[in-house]
Structure 1
Amino acid sequence: MTAITSSTHWNEALALSCRRLFLRNYEVHINIGVHDFEKLGPQRVRVNVDMYVLLSQSTPKADRIHEVVDYDFIRRTIAARVNAGHIELQETLCDDVANTLLEHPKVQAVRVSTEKPDVYPDCDAVGVEVFRIKR
């Protein structure tokens, strides 16, 4: 395994030692927002996740799901946070999801982004992204 040190660029170390799992444009309807009109009902939010798992802990020998980190773990983590109640900020949603994913013993790093596609009529979306590395 390649250790991530202060002299090693994190992206290089992750690329050499990890497998990247991802979830793209997972759409949820969530109670999110600080404005009164946002608290009237759910909004459409897209969530994207990159999760880095050590190759040594995610290379199957018997082609069985228990040998890897299951994609369902990502979806369950997001669903649990979405179902936990109103969130005011996308930053909170990203941080909560990233921190929970990083608790998995095989996960070394995560990138989580959220975007609200229906906020402004003159752009595709507004959003937030966070990156976390396990120390």
Structure 2
Amino acid sequence: MAGCGTYVITVRGFVAPFQIGVYAHERGRRQRLRIDVRLVVERGRPRFPDDVATVLSYEGLVLALEKLADGPHTQLLECLADRIGDLCLADQRVVEAEVSIEKPNVLPQIDSAGVTITYRRDDAVQAAPGALS
């Protein structure tokens, strides 16, 4: 299985309202976030059979993001990115996850503000329960 290389799965432009922010005016209301995720996944085999059960499903990632959107208030984009990174690395096939989160229209002078964080299996401290299958 090892040595068959990797492939990349991307989810771009996931948009949902989240409870997020450090300021008093951000509490008790939801703010729209845009999330992009890029996963580097071990192939596990030299060729893919035409069977969704043999690959990591991006639908599972979207469902996990929807669940996080329904979660409790988070102060920092960085902490939300950490949760997403942990979810991604919970699937043992994922060797790297890049998570970008943007807060559109957060200040009148800019289109958006955000963070991009890369998580690697070798750096993972703990894995969150629930794989992305």
Query: By how many angstroms is 1:57 displaced?
Result: 5.2
Q: How many angstroms does 1:43 deviate by?
A: 0.4
Any unmatched runs of 5+ in structure 1?
3-15
> 1:120 and 1:65 mapped to 2: Cα distance?
42
1:64 aligns with 2:22: no
What number of residue pairs does the alignment pair up?
121
1:82-117 CA-to-partner distances (Å, cap 9, x unmatched) read 222111110010000001111102111100010001
Matched residue, 2:9? 21
Residue segments in structure 2 that go unaligned for 5+ positions in a row: 123-133
The structure with the largest helix share of the pair is: 1
Q: By how many angstroms is 1:40 displaced? A: 3.2
CA offsets per residue over residues 24-54 of structure 1, 9 Å max, x none? 1110101100111111310010000000111
Compared CA separation, residues 58 and 92, structure 1 to 2 (3 A) = farther
Please point out which of 86, 96, 101 is paired with 1:114. Answer: 101
Residue 17 (structure 1) shift: 2.4
Q: CA deviation at 1:80?
A: 2.0
**TM-score normalised to the size of structure 2?**
0.84
How many Å separate the matches in 1 of 2:48 and 2:85?
25
The answer on whether the counterparts of 1:52 and 1:108 sit within 8 Å (CA) in structure 2 is yes
TM-score (norm 1): 0.82
Task: Give the secondary-structure state (helix, strand or coil) at the position aligned to 1:127.
Answer: strand
Q: Among 36, 44, 47, which residue is 1:48 paired with?
A: 36
Aligned pairs for 1:23-102 within 5 A: 23-56=11-44, 59-61=47-49, 63-102=50-89
- In the superposition, relative to structure 1, how do residues 57 and 111 fare at CA in structure 2: closer, same or farther (>3 Å)? farther
Aligned mates of 1:129, 1:70 — CA distance in 2: 22
Structure 1 pair 65–47 and aligned structure 2 pair: CA distance change class (3 A):
same
Is contact 1:31–1:87 with CA below 8 Å preserved after alignment? yes
* Distance in 2 of aligned mates of 1:39 and 1:125: 19
Higher relative contact order (CA 8 A, sep 6+): 2
